[in-house]
Amino acid sequence: MLFTIPKLKILFLKSLLNYLLFTIIYFLCHTSLIAQNNQTIDEGKTTLPTDSSVVLEDIDVNFLFHYYEQDGNHSAVTGGLGTEELQDISGTIILNIPLDTSSYFNMSLNVNHYSSASTDRINTAMSSASSSDVRTQVSLGYKKFNALRSKAFGFHMGGSMESDYISNFLGADWMLASKDGNREFNISGLVYFDRWAIIFPEELREAGLAQVDTDKRRSYSILLSYSQVINKKMQVAFSGELVNQNGLLSTPFHRVYFREQDMPKIEKLPGKRFKIPLSTRLHYYIADPLVLRMFYRYYWDDFGIRAHTISIEPSIKFSPFFSIYPFYRYHTQQASQYFGGFKVNLLADEYYTSDFDLSGFYSHKAGIGFRYSPVFGISRFRHPFSKKIAQFKSVNVRYAQYKRQDGLIAFMIGTDFAFSF
């Protein structure tokens, strides 16, 4: 059976356009009002003409660019053997707009384009439409702070879409801090409503050869975190998350080949999954100019995966506004009980996959980052919608290489340009 979702795509596009239109109108109106009511400008702050002389913070805008490239020989699309070559380019715009002195509106828009030799093998003819895709994601959020009670709450919503997948989410979070600001507790929840446009491998599209029970997926998560400043040199944080998923958790165009026959089947996984990641962070100020950041995470799920991740990132300041931070991450995991490579699974198995992301492996990721952030910004220019002076605040560049035990290799580079208006 082949599901299609043209109506969902139309609804998503309408929602996306509404989100963008609302944001653009609000942004234009907000900046226009600031320009009309502005009385004084002091170091980039706008003072509105009120009796209490309330000062609004700047509008922050971040432009992010990311490039990722990988290669390997264990594609799940072709049953655990075959190219995993992929290139992905993405761009993101993040807006953070103060509504008043204690509340903020934020928005992010991400578009990424990828070309994948792996998904091109969904059809036996190469260079099919599946060889590339565009994913669009938009999210909107609101956050309100109560400085007197050291509390904050917020909510966010959004969605994403690509050719065979559509996702929408709703979330909320709540924060409580100590009076001295040294301790902070956060709780947040997220709900995802996802739907597939079911695409089977070409040779399994004949009626009866490939079937799924649903085209929907639901994900529910709750995250608890606690951070504390131990002393002037040390800060620690702990977090734990509970994730429950149900629906279509396998990928319909992933093939699985069995020992007993040459004809593959589509990947089949349980319709429910429960995950528990637990993590801790430690930031330690050693001495000028060195700060050490360390991270550890333990992961468990009822697919049988157990994983450990540890990373270390020393940040070295060469001046008050220029720093370099090399980093290294090591990851190891135990395979899911449903995983088997090419022609390893048995026809008698209830569930099966040849996706090496669910295999047992260890991996290394290492790289370096650069941050340039002068106190008064890199440069200044006039705001396009008002007489206010805008600021190019900082540049962040990050490069990394990745290597996995099964031969998958990748490299990535990302940039972040920060502005304020």
Q: Examine residue 1 and state whether it is found in any structural domain, yes or no.
A: no
pLDDT in tens, 228-280: 999 999 999 999 999 999 999 999 999 999 999 999 999 999 999 999 999 99
- How would you label 158-173 residue by residue, b for 16+ Cβ within 10 Å and e otherwise? bbbbbebbbbbbebeb
CA nearest to 217, candidates 266, 166, 171, 268: 166
Could you tell me if 33 and 48 are in contact, meaning their C-beta atoms sit under 8 angstroms apart? no
Total domains in the fold of the chain: 1
pLDDT band at 36 (very low <50, low <70, confident <90, very high): very low
Distance CA 87, CA 69 (A): 4
Q: Please say whether the beta carbons of 72 and 51 come within 8 A.
A: no
Residue 94 CA to residue 97 CA, distance in Å, equals 10
For 332, the domain range is 6-420
How far apart, in whole angstroms, are the C-alpha atoms of residue 415 and residue 421?
20
User: Would 96 be classed as within a structural domain?
Assistant: yes
Q: Is the pTM of this model over 0.95?
A: no
For position 180, which CATH number holds? 2.40.160.40
Query: Model confidence over 172-208: pLDDT tens digits?
Result: 999 999 988 899 999 999 999 999 999 999 999 887 7
Rg (C-alpha) for the chain, rounded Å, is: 24
User: Given pLDDT bands bounded at 50, 70 and 90, which one contains residue 408?
Assistant: very high
Q: Indicate whether 128 belongs to any domain.
A: yes
φ, ψ dihedrals at 277, nearest 5°:
-95, 135
**Cis peptide bond upstream of 289, omega within 30:** yes
For all residues of the chain together, what is the average pLDDT?
Answer: 87
Tally the C-alpha atoms within 13 A of residue 396's C-alpha that lie toward its C-beta: 12
